[in-house]
Each structure stands twice: as C-alpha cells, then as structure tokens.
Structure 1
C-alpha cells in the first residue's frame, strides 16, 4: 500500500477519490505562454552574443542565480521540507528573490511540491519520472491537474506555511509584487543606468531570463530523471554521460528523507552551492536547527535493510529514531 493509500484511508475519502477522473487536460494558456517564452528567448540569445552590453549580461547572470538560489534554499529546503529554520530577515529576502522566479507564490510552489512528494513513484504523480525526463520537465507543465490530483492537493497539509506571515504576505499580494520585482525593476535597470537598448531589456532581461529561471526551477522535480539511478541499478551505467553527469543514489535518498538540508536539487549531496549558502547563513546566525543524518547512520540503515528486507525508509527512520514528522507526510 502506498503512502497515498495509507493517508487517504486514514482520512476516509477513499470512496470519493475513486470516483474522480485521473486524466489531465491541456492547459492552453500555459501552452501558449511557454511557446512564446521559448521562441522569443531564442532572439534573446542572439542579442546576448551580438548586441547587449556587459552590464546587462552580468545582471542576467546575477538575477538568474539569485532566483535559482531562492527556489532551492527557500521554497524547497526551507518552506517545503523544513530542513532548517531562518530568521525573519532572511525569510523576507528569500521571499523577494523567489518573486524573481515568476513561478507563482511560495505557497503555491510548496503545495505542488508536497503533492509531488506525497504521490512520488505512483502513476498519479504530476511529475511522474517513469514517463521520462521530457514529460517530468516540460509536458506536465502544459497540463492541468486531474480532478483526482486536485482533490489530493486540497488535502496537502499547509498549516505550517499558513503560520508564516511572510509567505502569506507574498501570497496575498503576489500580483502586486510580481510586476514590480519580476518585470519593472529588471527591465528598467539596463535602460536607466547604462543605456542599453529596449530590445536587449525586453528579450534578454525579460524572455531569456524567464526561460533560464523556469528550467532551473523545474529541475527540482525533473532532475531525478537525470541524476537518479534507474530502478534496480546499483551503479551508474557505462555511458559517455559520465563526463557530464554524476548519477548517484542521493536523488532517491531525498525522497526517503526529504528533511535533510544537505540533499542537493541537482544530484549532489553535501557539496552543492545551495548547501554552502545555508552553512554560511548558519555561521552568520541567520539560520539554525539544520536537520541532517550522519553518513554512518545511513550506512547502518542500508545494512539493516539488506539484512532484514525491511523497507529502507523504515530502517532510516528507526536508525535515526525520528518520529513521524510532518516532513514525511504531506497529506492531512
């Protein structure tokens, strides 16, 4: 029985859920939006190499990096999985930077991501990795959730997020923050401060930046298809991709123990840029309560799972003596 089955049985709506359709319809506004973003960003790439000023290039790199950092360290590790706690000042900065992503509010992002974790490895996971990278990364963004998934999304426990005044402020005023932080300030800077062209501002700082940030954020859910080992594989496959990609067990580990702050979004563990930033913030006193598991404990759990044939997730929980915390169960 899956985690979803267990949770729905507890709350009693199993019969109601079984009547709902699991088919997903095309989200035509999203289809048209993403077609335009990608087509217009191609012209932005041409301008990037042949027309824009260096200050615009540097601003593009800076804003793209900050937005990606906000998704990884903020929406994902802080709010979705509660891997650490942060001061109000840092949360406010991460909220502003997350608005640079243009992917909706933190509340909406966390709700979708928790739904993904609750349904992971099932056929109703919106980002079903079994359908391949292209589906998990792109195709799913072009479809609405099915009635079945929508009902489960309503059952996602967001009580901790609703207590965060900064997240709720962004949620309530997102469509006021978005045009100012995401559109007005980035597009105005090249025109106002170093006299770059309108075309560079619109197509590079607008469409190209949006495309880059979206794909970086989408990899949080679809990266499992790239960096995770395929089912039953014990070692990375013998492929030329080894020169570009490092496939490991760590993407699988994240779905077993999502509350570990060292689990990287892009296939790393303990060595990624986001992890380094969290440690710097901890040294500065901006974050605390960093949650993690010692590698010796993980090895002990692996040995126990091999010896007893128990599920690895259960062995990890027993080895760490963790109680069943909200990070493991996202459905109410």
Structure 2
C-alpha cells in the first residue's frame, strides 16, 4: 500500500498556497482535521509481529485457564500486570505527561523502573506521543486518530508509518522537563537492555526459579499473555474511550466517559473529563467509581512521596458542564439529552442494545492545537487546589 502525500485541507484534498503554514519540512494546513483521502502505509514487520504476539499470548492464556500453572504463578502474573499498568497510568500518564502532582526522587525512580516492565516504549517517547495526542486530539496530528476507526486507534496505528503531521508536529512538543530528568534519559538510552531484563527476564525467571515452572510455558504466560492483556487495556483508552459513550463535560471533544474502560484501565476511562481537565490528578470528576489510580496517588501523598495534587474546583467543573457539556451529566444535565442515550439493561456502549442520537464532534483544530493544560480554564490559582480529601 503506497502512502499519498497529505492533503493541505482537513477533509478535501485541495492544495492552495494560502491555506497552509510551514512546520518543519512539510506544509501544515491552517486547520487540521482528518484527510480521509490519505492512505497510511502498512509496516508489515510490525503487523506480522503483533499477530505473532497475540497468537503466543492466546496460547499462554489457554495454559492459564486450563490449570497448567501453580496458583503462585497466577498471582505473580496478576501482580506484575497490575503494577506495570499502574506505572503507565500513574507514572507515565498522570505524573510525567501531565504533571498533575509532584513526586520525590524515590517515586520517580519507581515510575521509570516499573514503566519499563509495561513495555510500552520508553518513558520519554510515551509522554511525547501522549502530549501530541492531547494537543492534536483526533486529527491527523494525533498518533492514534480515532476518526480513522476503532482498529486504527486501538492497534492499527502501531502497524502503519506515522502520518507526516505526527512526525513534524511531534518535533514541536516541549519535552524539556523530561530531557532534564536524568533517570528518564538514562532509561531512553538503555531502553532495550532494560526491557529485556525487566519486562522479559524478571517476570519469567521468578516462577521458573521459585515455583518450579517450565521455562517455555512461563514465557507464554508470564511474558506474552501478561504483556498483551496490559497492552490491550491501555489501547482501549485510545479506542473505546474515544468512540462509545457520552461527553458530559465538553461535547466539542471526541473522548467519552466509559465505566468499562475505567474498570479495565484502573481509572483511565473517564476520558471526556480527562481531556477537558488533563491536569487533574484524578483524571475524573469523582474518584469512587473505578479509579484505583487516584486512590494510590493519595496513598503516595500520605507516605510523603507525592505532593501538590492538582484538581479542578467544583465551580470550574460545574461551569464547564453547563457551558460545553452534551447535557448527559448525572447531576447538571437535562432529561432530553439523557433520553438520547438508551439501552435495555446496563446503559453502556458495550451493551448490544446501546444506542444514542448524540453526534460525535468534528475534530478540526488550528495548527497550534489544543492547550495541553487547557489554560483557558485555569482562571486563577484557586482553580488548582491541593486535594486533601477525595470526593
């Protein structure tokens, strides 16, 4: 499949001198959306690699569910998977990408070490791509643009060459804070060596050495199955949490609220709120509903490892709901909007009967994209509150 040059318009592929600006080596349109005439070029080694990865993971899951392993090994797999996932959710996402709280040197070191076990690329690259995702969310500047469909934003983006806008705009993302962190840059430099030791060798060695498990089955379950489950949990935030749900905080943003994704991803599925207030450590308005990550951050605060937890004040959240929400908010919404979302049984997008007449927004942005911290909502220092008691 050949890659076509990106059109200079968002949907229509007209090329006019007055509707583009120069960013790097390619022209960037004055408005960025999704050019559906652009064809991504498949990277076949990646596509085949992910296919093999999932086949081996399925093999490992069969062994797990047919009782092949000792219970200690099952607990180990679960433990490594949860800890690695939290290092992405809390460390890479809420701390390093969005700086929603402060962390001492010990906690930062734990984030970097355990994020390596998750195997989702180095901390530096993960955060760069996620900051790019927020700035150019759901456009051709977004690495996993959900406007190109579920498969692309879930896993397909990793099987294709990056869109030229992603490459050029990614170079403009400010990463100076991570570049100044020696631990992040050390991990970036030696990522593959650290990955082999921490993401592959350690999870496999423990059940082989301590529980007497055979080597190859341990590789299938403790590495492949654990790794692929964790990956798909993270990918659901990019796919399902951008496509299937409601937008009670900002109907102009593509991301949605999803309790199912929050349950799978340890609190990352309240995604319309998160894209509305990305600097909030909770990544959600409330914290009692499938948001273990927020509780763990507060535990770190009690331990003295984390401080200055940032959260949007109730007044700012309420004003935003009234001003830009789609009307489905549980408290400040309206019956007409709520009636547009129906289902027989649980009101959730994974319910086959789920249906909504609410339309997804058109994601069209200026070249500078969205502010990473939505500064327009940070009216004064009182908006950023130290959260001493969870909602």
Q: TM tier, shorter chain?
A: 0.7 to 0.9
Deviations 1:168-194 (A, max 9, x none): 111111122111111111111111111
Change (3 A) 1:232 1:155: closer
TM-score by length of 1: 0.79
Higher helix share: 1
2:356 aligned residue = none
- What are the residue-to-residue correspondences of 1:199-218 with 2, within 5 Å? 199-218=216-235
> Contact (CA 8 Å) 1:17, 1:151: kept in 2 or not?
yes
Higher relative CO (CA 8 A, sep ≥ 6), structure 1 or 2? 1
The separation in 2 between residues aligned to 1:158 and 1:102, in whole angstroms, is 21
Deviations 1:37-60 (A, max 9, x none): 101111111110221111111111
> Contact (CA 8 Å) 2:132, 2:170: kept in 1 or not?
yes
The separation in 2 between residues aligned to 1:246 and 1:69, in whole angstroms, is 13
> Contact (CA 8 Å) 1:305, 1:315: kept in 2 or not?
no
Could you tell me which runs of 5 or more consecutive residues in structure 2 were left unpaired when the two chains were aligned.
1-20, 30-34, 252-257, 264-268, 326-369, 385-391
Change (3 A) 1:210 1:301: closer
Q: Secondary structure at the match of 1:90?
A: helix
Q: Secondary structure at the match of 2:167?
A: helix
The separation in 2 between residues aligned to 1:110 and 1:15, in whole angstroms, is 21
RMSD of aligned Cα (Å): 3.2
Match of 2:49 among 28, 33, 38: 33
Q: Secondary structure at the match of 1:100?
A: helix
The separation in 1 between residues aligned to 2:51 and 2:262, in whole angstroms, is 31
Could you tell me which runs of 5 or more consecutive residues in structure 1 were left unpaired when the two chains were aligned.
1-11, 235-241, 324-332
> Contact (CA 8 Å) 1:302, 1:315: kept in 2 or not?
no
1:317 is aligned to 2:333: no
The separation in 1 between residues aligned to 2:159 and 2:178, in whole angstroms, is 27
1:127 is aligned to 2:136: no
Deviations 1:16-74 (A, max 9, x none): 53279965321222212210110111111111022111111111100000010000000
Q: Secondary structure at the match of 1:18?
A: strand
> Contact (CA 8 Å) 1:102, 1:210: kept in 2 or not?
yes
Change (3 A) 1:252 1:232: closer
> Contact (CA 8 Å) 1:117, 1:255: kept in 2 or not?
yes
1:245 positional shift: 7.2
1:7 aligned residue = none
TM-score by length of 2: 0.68
1:13 aligned residue = 22
1:287 aligned residue = 306
